[in-house]
Structure 1
Amino acid sequence: MSGPLLEMQGVVKEFPGVRALDGVDLDVVAGEVHCLLGQNGAGKSTLIKVLAGAHQPDAGRVVWQGEPITLSAPTAATHLGIATIYQELDLVDGLSVAENIYLGHEQARLGFTQRGQMRTAARELLGRLGHADIPVTSEVGSLSAAGKQVVSMARALSHDARLIVMDEPSAVLAHNEVANLFRVIRDLTAEGVAVVYISHRMEEIREIGDRVTVLKEGRTVAAGLSARTTPTAELVALMTGRDVEYAFPPRPARADPDERPVLLEVDGIGRPDEFHDVSFTVRAGEIVGLAGLVGSGRSEILETIYGARRPVSGHIRLAGSALRPGSVSAAVRAGIGLAPEERKSQALFLWDSIARNVSMSSLRRFARAGFVDARAELTAATDAVRRLDLRPTDVTRAVRTLSGGNQQKAVLARWLLTDCRLLLLDEPTRGVDVGARAELYALIRELADSGVAVLLVSSEVPEVLGMADRVLVIREGRAVREADARDIDESQVLDLVMEGSSV
């Protein structure tokens, strides 16, 4: 085929009060990995929903194999061979692998589903992706995040997809799983399948991408750039409109430990099949990072400190006082806040206002004779979001309208209102663009400098090392090394977390 497989020309999409796309151009050729970059709010999600048939453009046109098309519904995109794998996978956990792959287009004869035929076809698709080991009769809910990604790709191939859009596909994957994802993508492009790849991780763009299109404020600001040779500083400047330093905020000078009191004491806590005999401390004003592979027990440790899980052994103390095991309310009253890994499903009420999301853990402060003082609530929430430079500052807006970085700021603002003493951060910059990352890093360091103790989990080792004062390495549920962040490097951490693993 000569010419692009897909062309999107001058695409415009408006929502009430918002022009999400303001003349976007994109062209994709068969067999390439085309990376789509832009800050949160740049229009990437809206663009791929137009391509998926979920939104209809108000202006512009979409050209497929040289012919203008109308994507009036998701089924129209699927029929053409355009498949979208969203960051939040749309699989049904209670159905089998084969049933998920053929969901909506089950193979049938005379009105009866041909389950055996579907299973055979599903095995062939999984084998094509190099994952014939995934049992097609297993429930999808029993699979790992990486396994679910493969099932989503197999579903796309079941529609004879010629273009697959992948939205942050590595966000929930461990290091070795990302490498396997890239192998699958290379196999697909070798067969002529085109991939539109969305990621905030520059190292992934370099490794898997061919060309790059950059969006900013709903417009295409650069197209056809080389993914491998375009300088990172140039890409960042295009996305943000300014130069953004990748440097983390400066750490304070090494302090005498006795100058800062121990705030959190974790002594020998454990939970069966999750983590075992974990002990460490966090001092006021200190950032301690937990480094480890996905599934090593890092998130479970944070949730246990927060009271969302109950330890079967050990003790947790805050400022010398024992915390009631398995009680979130007791943890919050003691001054502990959690920004969880999945903020949209675990921390935010997306359809509620920014103000209510910020104030929900402090509503007692605004209660008057059994009723919430709405004016006091709005004033306090507005003050909190302004402290964190959350944009926009209109706290009556639904929190779902915010970018990923500003949604994370809303979660942090919630804990500012509670006078939080210990802040637990689980993947604080997941799905956040580079500009917002720099802002979040500065904010976290500012909170620590004000005396808040911070316990941080991240799958990105450079982030742990760049932000933390001390690092605790977790492998298979056990703490295997504790070190000053200045005294350990990325290769040492990776060696520790992967030692004895199957990768």
Structure 2
Amino acid sequence: MSAALVQNDVVLQVEAVTKVYPGTVALKEASFTVRRGAVNVLVGENGAGKSTMMKIIAGAEQPSTGRLLLDGQPVQLASSSDALRHGIGIVFQELNLFPNLSIAENVFIAHEITRGRIDIDAGAQRRKVSELLKRLELDVSPDTLVEDLRIGQQQLVEIAKALAHDARILILDEPTSALSAAEVDVLFQVIADLKSHGVAIVYISHRLEELIRIGDYITVLRDGRITGHQPMNEVDVPWIVRQMVGRETKDFSRPIGHERGTEVLRVHDVSLPRKGAGLLVDHVSLSLHAGEIVGIYGLMGAGRSELFECILGCHPHATGDVVLDGKPLNGKPVAKRVAQGLALIPEDRKADALLPILSIGSNMTLSSLADFARGFHIERQREQNAVTRFIRDLAIKVADSHLPVSSLSGGNQQKVVIARALMTAPKVLLMDEPSRGIDVGAKADIFKVMRDLAVKGLGILFVTSDLEEVMALSDRILVMSNGRITAEFGANEATQDALVAASAIGHRVDAHGTGQRAAA
């Protein structure tokens, strides 16, 4: 391929960009090439500089030094709106939607279709959004409120927002983190269609196998510097990991040398009615022992998160029995269940776990402030000592615990959420997608924490849609489909085929993927 032809493929160049924030250098003379009609993968650990690079391309941040070239010409992007006018759209991992507005209203927010610049043409907006939803194979009405959608469906609405503005450069930040396998396939079909029309995709994900599948070119960031740039067909997963973290393997192995203790949690015949008809959780029974890690594998919409909410007491109308350490929890509110030894790490850190305007330390002690109180006052030194201890024990990378928690990378934010749960001295830890949106290095840290906690006698029940994780971490594996437990495997008998079969078709299967339909 000639140099002129290669250059003609380049729609955007980031040249020797450095970005300095007070106290830190996020990017150090980093260069990144975006080719049209291709998926340009950008990968790195949390804190490597991906988000800063992405924000500079999208106009949300300006470089301290260096420049951007668009179609070979220098360009300064003063804002995200300015970038959008130049054809650069972005879909952030953290959803930016208005839950009380419809899908159509969200897609065209601040960019409404108008009649003569007098009033909004709601009909035209609905028709356009209907076409986009059909393209994304999302079978819902444009008038549906966003708050009534599953998180995976909300992710597709974010993608629809970008497609509505005919972006020629589309940045996708962890676009599959909340999608089911079927939704991922749809997204990849959409990406293939966009590529065929010359759209350049900047694709950011921590799912390395997914990057191999979808990417055309890959650029790796580490500590703000570019450590590798190659065509995707010339690399493999070990190469990516090595460029990201300086080592080749991921340590997800199960702990050895400890035995499980007595039963610490029993869930019997728990059901949760669905709005209208049917059940979100359909007569689920399970048990968990002290020192045991039990993984629940299933696709989005299988009822996994709703099961955790039932165990924690978030749905008073749920039926069935929950027994913690021999004591029934039926009828007890969430606070009482937490006080007796339950703790939840929710799937969505931003919406359900963290208060971004508060400090790292305040977020950690939020659920256990009573332990640091004397009369009407908080003993600040005792509180700070506890924060310092958990920062050390969980290896949280933080310069100052008084900084806002929003200043941390995703992996370290997840550790803050875990620290807050552990400060309540739980007997059972419920973890909903604990590795969602964090890099391979941070995953290894989180999984080491889980293994260490199990060795100390904590019972851990966790949900994941990652086959590798559930098979590597679990002492036992349960599979959920359509609100039911459809299979159970010991750690040494589970296979990927059997797990996928049980999650997809609801059959009671053995380690070879065969067996009888699960009882209703």
* Same fold at TM > 0.5: yes
Q: In structure 2, which of residues 199, 207, 212 is the aligned counterpart of residue 206 of structure 1?
A: 212
What's the CA shift for 1:453? 0.5
Q: In structure 1, which of residues 170, 173, 177 is the aligned counterpart of residue 176 of structure 2?
A: 170
Task: State whether residues 134 and 147 of structure 1, in contact with CA within 8 Å, keep that contact through their aligned partners in structure 2.
Answer: no
With over 3 angstroms needed to count, the CA separation of the structure-2 counterparts of 1:212 and 1:113, relative to structure 1, is same
CA shift digits 1:449-482 (9 cap, x unpaired)? 0100000111112211111101111111111222
- 2:128 maps to 1:121: yes
Q: Who is 1:498 aligned against?
A: 504
CA shift digits 1:171-224 (9 cap, x unpaired)? 10011111111111001101111100000001110111000011111122222x
What's the CA shift for 1:433? 0.5
Task: State the AA in 1 paired with 2:125.
Answer: M
Q: Who is 1:238 aligned against?
A: 243
Q: Who is 2:430 aligned against?
A: 424
- 2:61 maps to 1:55: yes
For 1:119 and 1:458, the matched residues in 2 are separated by 35
Q: In structure 2, which of residues 252, 258, 264 is the aligned counterpart of residue 248 of structure 1?
A: 252
Task: State whether residues 136 and 156 of structure 2, in contact with CA within 8 Å, keep that contact through their aligned partners in structure 1.
Answer: no
With over 3 angstroms needed to count, the CA separation of the structure-2 counterparts of 1:26 and 1:253, relative to structure 1, is same
What's the CA shift for 1:310? 2.9
For 1:281 and 1:316, the matched residues in 2 are separated by 10
For 2:405 and 2:498, the matched residues in 1 are separated by 40
CA shift digits 1:270-303 (9 cap, x unpaired)? 1112112111111110011111111111111112
For 2:162 and 2:319, the matched residues in 1 are separated by 45
For 2:388 and 2:139, the matched residues in 1 are separated by 52
Structure 2 matches for 1:37-186, cutoff 5 A?
A: 37-110=43-116, 111-127=118-134, 129=135, 131=137, 133-186=139-192
For 1:311 and 1:109, the matched residues in 2 are separated by 47
Q: Secondary structure at the match of 2:110?
A: coil
For 1:130 and 1:413, the matched residues in 2 are separated by 38
CA shift digits 1:132-187 (9 cap, x unpaired)? 85433333443444443443333323322101000000010011111111111001
Unpaired runs of 5+ residues, structure 1, are: none
With over 3 angstroms needed to count, the CA separation of the structure-2 counterparts of 1:131 and 1:417, relative to structure 1, is closer
- 2:373 maps to 1:372: no
Task: State whether residues 296 and 304 of structure 2, in contact with CA within 8 Å, keep that contact through their aligned partners in structure 1.
Answer: yes
Task: State the AA in 1 paired with 2:64.
Answer: D
With over 3 angstroms needed to count, the CA separation of the structure-2 counterparts of 1:148 and 1:343, relative to structure 1, is closer
CA shift digits 1:395-442 (9 cap, x unpaired)? 222211111111111122223322221111111111110011111111
Q: Who is 1:470 aligned against?
A: 476
For 1:139 and 1:365, the matched residues in 2 are separated by 41
Task: State the AA in 2 paired with 1:229.
Answer: E
Provide the aligned length of Structure 1 versus Structure 2. Answer: 495
For 2:128 and 2:53, the matched residues in 1 are separated by 32
With over 3 angstroms needed to count, the CA separation of the structure-2 counterparts of 1:31 and 1:445, relative to structure 1, is same
CA shift digits 1:235-281 (9 cap, x unpaired)? 112111x21422423343695xxx62111111111111211211111
CA shift digits 1:28-68 (9 cap, x unpaired)? 11100000000001111111111111112111111101111
TM-score (normalizing by structure 2)? 0.91
Q: In structure 1, which of residues 227, 235, 245 is the aligned counterpart of residue 232 of structure 2?
A: 227
What's the CA shift for 1:125? 4.2
Q: Who is 1:487 aligned against?
A: 493
What's the CA shift for 1:324? 4.3
Between stretches 94-103 and 38-47, larger displacement belongs to 94-103
TM-score (normalizing by structure 1)? 0.94
Task: State whether residues 82 and 164 of structure 1, in contact with CA within 8 Å, keep that contact through their aligned partners in structure 2.
Answer: yes
Task: State the AA in 1 paired with 2:119.
Answer: F
Task: State whether residues 241 and 249 of structure 2, in contact with CA within 8 Å, keep that contact through their aligned partners in structure 1.
Answer: no
Unpaired runs of 5+ residues, structure 2, are: 274-278, 508-520
What's the CA shift for 1:3? 4.3
With over 3 angstroms needed to count, the CA separation of the structure-2 counterparts of 1:312 and 1:73, relative to structure 1, is closer
CA shift digits 1:53-110 (9 cap, x unpaired)? 1112111111101111110011110111000011123233333333333222222233
For 1:482 and 1:133, the matched residues in 2 are separated by 32
What's the CA shift for 1:366? 1.1
For 2:74 and 2:415, the matched residues in 1 are separated by 42
Task: State the AA in 2 paired with 1:260.
Answer: G
For 2:148 and 2:280, the matched residues in 1 are separated by 17
Task: State the AA in 1 paired with 2:471.
Answer: L
Task: State whether residues 293 and 473 of structure 2, in contact with CA within 8 Å, keep that contact through their aligned partners in structure 1.
Answer: yes
Q: Secondary structure at the match of 1:5?
A: strand
